[in-house]
């Protein structure tokens, strides 16, 4: 464990892969919680998941800046998705497969841009799932996909002081503190 990190973060990193938490949807936390017994870590992850799920998507930019993987809004056969080989190629957010014009990259463009092997059926299923989420949420595709971006689920941590205090207060109120043995 790194001595430069706060103790709570060291504990959480010891039990989980915190990088994956940042690049996955909220359903990933449910997967993690199956194996975590430490009450503090469980409460921290539950609070983060609650905050993550309360974020409302209202604009195209917010929509495309959410994770693809383990996203409860993006499902195939009513299950969240995770393609590990895509994740390893840094395809993490919806914006990673959307061009500057607001359209999906073609299969060939995805394969060339990310040097990934995939087939038409896998990509068509993913696109269809995302299109279904777009229709349900009634967001309209826009041009000018601006990068770099702040992932939608991390926005509460990068906002004005007043809004940040409200987010942190919400987060802390949802954690039940336990003594760590």
pLDDT digits (tens, 9 = 90+) for 92-108: 999 999 998 889 999 99
DSSP assigned state of 76: E
Residue of higher predicted confidence among 92 and 146? 92
How sure is the predictor about 122, in pLDDT bands with cuts at 50, 70 and 90?
very high
Higher pLDDT, 93 or 169: 93
Mean pLDDT of 121-137: 94
Confidence of residue 179 (pLDDT cuts 50, 70, 90): very low
Mean confidence (pLDDT) of the chain = 78
Angle between helices 39-54 and 7-15 (to 10 degrees): 90
Q: Which residue has the higher pLDDT, 124 or 144?
A: 124
Indicate whether 40 pLDDT > 60.
yes
Q: Look at residue 127 and tell me whether its pLDDT is greater than 50.
A: yes
User: Crossing angle for the helix pair 161-173 and 39-54, nearest 10 degrees?
Assistant: 130
Burial label for 81, CB within 10 Å (0-12, 13-18, 19+), is: buried
pLDDT value of position 81: 95
- CA 20 remoteness from chain centre: 9
**pLDDT at residue 116, as a whole number:** 94
Question: CB within 8 A of 38, min separation 6: which ones?
Answer: 11, 15, 180
- pLDDT of 142: 74
Q: Please state, for a pLDDT cut of 70, what percent of the chain lies above it.
A: 69
Examine the pLDDT at 57 and tell me if it is beyond 60. Answer: yes
Burial of 80 per CB tally in 10 Å (0-12, 13-18, 19+)? buried
Q: Which residues contact 74 (CB under 8 A, 6 or more apart)?
A: 25, 68, 80, 81, 94, 126, 129, 130, 133
Residue 80 has pLDDT above 90, yes or no: yes
- Least Cα distance to 126 among 87, 180, 165 occurs for 87
DSSP tag of 93: B
- Residue 84 neighbours by CB distance under 10 Å: 8
pLDDT at 17 over 70: no
Q: Judge whether residue 8 has pLDDT over 70.
A: no
pLDDT value for 147: 59
């Amino acid at each position: 464990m790194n001595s430069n990190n706060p103790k709570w973060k060291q504990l959480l990193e010891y039990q989980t892969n915190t990088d994956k938490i940042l690049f996955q949807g909220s359903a990933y936390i449910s997967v993690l919680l199956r194996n975590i017994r430490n009450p503090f870590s469980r409460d921290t992850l539950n609070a983060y998941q609650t905050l993550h799920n309360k974020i409302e998507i209202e604009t195209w930019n917010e929509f495309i800046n959410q994770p693809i993987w383990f996203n409860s809004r993006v499902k195939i056969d009513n299950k969240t998705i995770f393609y590990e080989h895509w994740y390893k190629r840094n395809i993490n957010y919806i914006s990673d497969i959307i061009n500057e014009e607001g359209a999906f990259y073609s299969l060939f463009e995805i394969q060339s841009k990310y040097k990934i092997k995939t087939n038409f059926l896998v990509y068509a299923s993913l696109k269809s799932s995302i299109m279904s989420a777009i229709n349900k949420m009634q967001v309209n595709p826009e041009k000018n996909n601006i990068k770099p971006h702040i992932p939608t689920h991390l926005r509460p941590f990068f906002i004005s002081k007043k809004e940040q205090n409200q987010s942190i207060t919400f987060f802390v109120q949802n954690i039940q503190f336990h003594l760590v043995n």
